[in-house]
Chains A and B, each alone.
Chain A
Amino acid sequence: SQQGEEDPQALSIQEGENATMNCSYKTSINNLQWYRQNSGRGLVHLILIRSNEREKHSGRLRVTLDTSKKSSSLLITASRAADTASYFCATHTNAGKSTFGDGTTLTVKP
Chain B
Amino acid sequence: GNSVTQMEGPVTLSEEAFLTINCTYTATGYPSLFWYVQYPGEGLQLLLKATKADDKGSNKGFEATYRKETTSFHLEKGSVQVSDSAVYFCAFRRGSGAGSYQLTFGKGTKLSVIP
* A in complex with B: no
